[in-house]
Structure 1
């Protein structure tokens, strides 16, 4: 606490003094009015006695009023002291503390609730940051280790020729691309999780049918390479939210359905709306998934099996889908298909639905 803080009058003291001045001033006005009304009917001795008694009563009332005002101000300002004390205790390991005001529903309660809501957002941001750092440090070890090993082995080979160096460069490039893709996916996941709870930074209309069509176009060459049969029914499915996140949601579902598929397998995609909810359904043939293992597919870095197309994923595709759904107030459900494969259904509030009041 600085010297300036110690010398500065507190809000409680200022409120008390203000109340005392108003009370004494009002009492003085009443005494003056009473004296003006009765002074002609009083003798000089009675007049002096009345004034003395009035002044004594005024001082007594002022003292009682000041004491009462001090107590009332202290009680009224107690939540402010709680806010201050909580803020001083806050640290990276104490972000779970809250004021938890349960008094009258007034302006002070609104301040306490606003402060608690701010702490919720700060805590969520810290948790997202810690998860990002932990996930990145864990998952980046593999591509970085691959790059270092390839470089060390090649440099230690005195007979390595140009072809060997080209092979090493190709491996290092592939590992670096994987690391870049992993970092991008982690950033999207952290961004999605930070906006969970209706705190979207951007809210514009987005058609899931358009986003899904773009995703299918982006994967067209891979679909042709592995000979997938694609069945689509893309009807308008308008939603409101962050277009970047929603585009990534559609892209991840289509990309996963292509990557985790059989050669000459099937891929089906449907979008639509009923005016209240809009949906996106993406299904595929592929490896068998036990129903008990389906929920785990939405956890970061969980894969249901080896990719059938030879491409490697980050293990974050469905985690990002779930986080984006949560951020937009939607749901995502996956159902294992008989004989292998998975059908994922995303449901979001429709842009045509009446706004909640």
Structure 2
């Protein structure tokens, strides 16, 4: 059972009210003792009024014992009534003032914590695509001002780091793809020569295959780095239409693998980057087709409860291995030297894109083998 967190404002209010109530109780106890000591007591008055011979006299009148007893009782009743009234009225006043103190404590705590709320609100609005907001807290040079200034300095360092990463990704996109494109062109030109030998043709085919896999790996790494930086733009997108397009483009691969695709695509609009969302759907569909059995099936759903669900048939997946599938370069097979054409980036990219859209992705083993992957996005 999850324990509900008590806010700092509530705790400060309880602390203020509790300390005031404790101080009021101490003051009430001291006041009671002082009043109790100074109120007259019936027996003390009787002793002062009684003469040495046993007759009760005063300076002017003679008082008999019965009258003295009545006076004694009256003084004791007055004393008891006064003390009771003091306790009751003081307790009522203490409760009222304690409630007022708690109310003022609540207001004072809100004012004292306002800079903390400013820091929290700024942190929530930040994203990897926009790290240029600052708190710029005004006020005396106290602990809260120091906290806000430290937070601003941290944001400055993060902004410089992300800008450097963005430049690196842009440069890597050009520097890594260009040599591969040149290499592919040279191989194709060499293979197109009329006097090329069968051995060179076979070698060129393998080199083109290796180059294609390298290009796919680099493209996956760049998409992963881009999605982990966050979104630079957001727009309303029909997610069901994107999924329908990807499924249509995957029909040839499904036929080649003798896998049937079943869809249930309900209208759904989400906010995000269309290119990245298309990559997300493409990776899930390709994974569902690639890690399947001949004659298997792939079920794809787009709906209100979940943005996307992709379920396929295939080899059983151990539950303890599911979490590791979302790590880069991780596949179900522990051998990285196998002949699989996949680099193990598909689900890593899916998770990064989902988190960049403030969403989440969850996977679990299918009941009949394979994997069930569920993607949740804001607005669905």
Normalising by structure 1, we get a TM-score of: 0.55
Question: Aligned residues, how many?
Answer: 230
SS at match of 2:200: helix
CA contact (8 A) 1:267 1:284 kept: yes
Matching of residue 170 in structure 1 with residue 172 in structure 2: no
Quote the Cα distance in structure 2 between the aligned partners of 1:299 and 1:131.
Answer: 20
Matching of residue 118 in structure 1 with residue 118 in structure 2: no
CA contact (8 A) 1:259 1:311 kept: no
Report what 1:217 is aligned to.
248
Tell me: CA distance 1:223–1:168, structure 2 relative to 1, closer, same or farther (3 Å).
same
Matching of residue 266 in structure 1 with residue 297 in structure 2: yes
CA contact (8 A) 2:169 2:226 kept: no
CA contact (8 A) 1:287 1:340 kept: yes
Tell me: CA distance 1:125–1:324, structure 2 relative to 1, closer, same or farther (3 Å).
farther
Q: Post-superposition shift, 1:194?
A: 1.1
Report what 1:181 is aligned to.
216
Quote the Cα distance in structure 2 between the aligned partners of 1:172 and 1:119.
Answer: 43
Quote the Cα distance in structure 1 between the aligned partners of 2:348 and 2:171.
Answer: 16
Deviations, residues 21-62 of structure 1 (Å, cap 9, x unaligned): xxxxxxxxxxxxxxxxxxxxxxxxxxxxxxxxxxxxxxxxxx
Q: Post-superposition shift, 1:184?
A: 0.6
Matching of residue 289 in structure 1 with residue 284 in structure 2: no
Quote the Cα distance in structure 1 between the aligned partners of 2:249 and 2:155.
Answer: 41
Deviations, residues 278-303 of structure 1 (Å, cap 9, x unaligned): 51000101122110000000000111
CA contact (8 A) 1:256 1:317 kept: yes
Residues 140-289 of structure 1 mapped to structure 2, 5 A cutoff = 162-195=197-230, 200-273=231-304, 278-289=306-317
Report what 2:101 is aligned to.
none
Quote the Cα distance in structure 1 between the aligned partners of 2:168 and 2:323.
Answer: 23
Q: Post-superposition shift, 1:172?
A: 0.3
CA contact (8 A) 1:235 1:272 kept: yes
Tell me: CA distance 1:185–1:109, structure 2 relative to 1, closer, same or farther (3 Å).
same
Match for residue 331 of structure 1 among 360, 368, 373? 360
Quote the Cα distance in structure 1 between the aligned partners of 2:167 and 2:363.
Answer: 28
Normalising by structure 2, we get a TM-score of: 0.52
CA contact (8 A) 1:209 1:271 kept: yes
Q: Post-superposition shift, 1:247?
A: 1.0
Tell me: CA distance 1:224–1:237, structure 2 relative to 1, closer, same or farther (3 Å).
same
Report what 2:344 is aligned to.
315
CA contact (8 A) 1:132 1:190 kept: no
**RMSD over equivalenced CA pairs, Å:** 4.1
Quote the Cα distance in structure 2 between the aligned partners of 1:345 and 1:190.
Answer: 22
Q: Post-superposition shift, 1:273?
A: 1.7
- Range 200-209 or range 170-179, more displaced: 200-209
Stretches of structure 2 lacking an aligned partner (at least 5 in a row): 1-134, 188-195
SS at match of 1:273: coil
CA contact (8 A) 2:315 2:369 kept: yes
Tell me: CA distance 1:328–1:208, structure 2 relative to 1, closer, same or farther (3 Å).
same
SS at match of 1:301: coil
Q: Post-superposition shift, 1:120?
A: 2.7
Tell me: CA distance 1:114–1:191, structure 2 relative to 1, closer, same or farther (3 Å).
same
Deviations, residues 72-95 of structure 1 (Å, cap 9, x unaligned): xxxxxxxxxxxxxxxxxxxxxxxx
